[in-house]
Amino acid sequence: MAGEERDIKVVIEDVRKTYQGRTGEVVALNGVNLNIADNEFVTVVGPSGCGKSTLLNIIAGLLEPTSGRVLCNGQEVHGTGKDRGVVFQQYALFPWLTVKKNVLFPLDMRGIKGFAAEEIAMKYIKMVDLEKFADHYPKELSGGMKQRVAIARAYAANPEILLMDEPFGALDAQTRTQLQQELLDTWEKERKTCFFITHDVDEALILGQRVVIMSARPGRIKEIVDVDIPYPRNQETKMDPHFLELKNHIWSQVYQEYLEVRK
C-alpha cells in the first residue's frame, strides 16, 4: 500500500462510536481501522449518515470514541491538539472578526503576536488570494471566499494534519473546481497530511492518493482504492481513461451503499 514505506502519522485502531438516540443506541462507527502516512492525502467517500463526520471529529479530538483509539504521532488522542487543524463545511468563521483577525486567531492562541503574527497571517491570506479583503467582515464575502479564509486560518495554525469535512460541499461547481486546484497546488508545496471528506467521487479522486470508501450504517471501511495517478494533477486528469475507470468503480461501490441506506 502507498503508506507502507512512509512514516505513519495517524493510526485509527478498532474505533467504535455509538450515540444515544431517542429510539435507542445508534451505532455510527464500528471496527474502523486505518493508517494515514505522513504527508499523505486521504479522501473519504460514503453515503450520508455513514459516520464520516463522526470519524473526523474523533481524529480532531472533538469526540471521544466509545471504544478503540486514535494515535497521532504515536500519542493517543484525547481532546484537540495543535498538531491537528479542521476545516468545516459551514466555514465556521468568527463573524465579528475581519478576515485578517480570523486568520490571526490561531496565532494569538499560540502566543504569536504583533508584527510576526501579521506577517504569517498576510502570507496565508495572500495564498488564498484575498489580500484585498483582509479588512472585510465575513458577511461581505461569498461562500467560496469564506471557505478560502477558513483554509488560510487552518494553515496559519500550522497543523501537521489537516482534517477537512466536505469543505467545498456548499459551493457551486466552478468555485469548487477552482478551490480543488488551489488545494492541490498547496498540498504539493507544503505536503501536509490531509484527511478530506467529500460526497463527490470526482473530487475524492482528483485530490487523494487513496480513497477510503465507507459502508452504510454502522460505518465501516468497505474498501480502500489506491489512486495511482501521478501529481501534478489538474482538471484534465479527469479525462484520463484510468481516472474514469477508478471513478466508475468507486461510484458503483458508493451507489451500492446508498441503496443499502434506502432499504
Partner 1 sequence: MASDKAKKGGVSDKARNWMWLALSLAAAIIVWTILSVLPSTSRSFPNIIVVFQQIPVMIERGVLFKDIQSSLISVGLGYLLGFVIALPVAILMAWYNPFRRIVEPWIQFIRNIPPLAYVPLIVIAAGVGRKPQVIVITIATFLIMCITIYQGIINIDETLIKAARVLGAKDKDIFIRVLAPASLPFILTAVRLGASVALTTLIAAESTGAFAGLGMRIRSLNNNFETAPMLLYIIIIGIIGITVEKIIKLLERKLTGWQEKREI
Ligand X SMILES: Nc1ncnc2c1ncn2[C@@H]1O[C@H](COP(=O)(O)OP(=O)(O)OP(=O)(O)O)[C@@H](O)[C@H]1O
Q: Which of 28, 50, 51, 88 binds partner 1 (CB under 8 A)?
A: 88
Q: Using CA atoms, how far apart are residues 218 and 54, in angstroms rounded to an integer?
A: 11
Q: How far is the CB of 187 from ligand X (least distance, A)?
A: 22
70 and 54 in contact (C-beta within 8 Å)? Answer: no
Alpha helices by DSSP H, listed for the chain, are: 52-60, 99-109, 114-127, 143-156, 173-190, 201-207, 241-262
Q: Give bridge partners of residue 165 from the DSSP assignment.
A: 197
**By the rule CB under 5 A, 57 interacts with Mg ion:** no
Q: Which of 25, 31, 33, 48 binds ligand X (CB under 6 A)?
A: 48
**By the rule CB under 5 A, 43 interacts with Mg ion:** no
Distances (CA, A) of 166 to 5, 44, 80, 105: 29, 10, 20, 23
Residue 210 phi, psi (nearest 5): -135, 145
The C-alpha cell that represents 48 in the structure block: 450520508
Of 53 and 253, nearer to Mg ion (C-beta) is 53
Q: Select the binding partner of residue 113 from ligand X, partner 1, Mg ion, none (C-beta < 5 to 8 A, by kind).
A: none
Q: Which of 7, 14, 48, 82 binds partner 1 (CB under 8 A)?
A: 82
Of 88 and 187, nearer to partner 1 (C-beta) is 88
**By the rule CB under 6 A, 144 interacts with ligand X:** no
The C-alpha cell that represents 254 in the structure block: 458508493
Q: Which of 72, 130, 157, 184 binds partner 1 (CB under 8 A)?
A: 157
**By the rule CB under 8 A, 116 interacts with partner 1:** no
Q: Which of 53, 98, 102, 193 binds Mg ion (CB under 5 A)?
A: 53
256 and 202 in contact (C-beta within 8 Å)? Answer: no
Q: Which residues form the interface with ligand X (CB under 6 A)?
A: 19, 21, 26, 28, 46, 48-54, 217
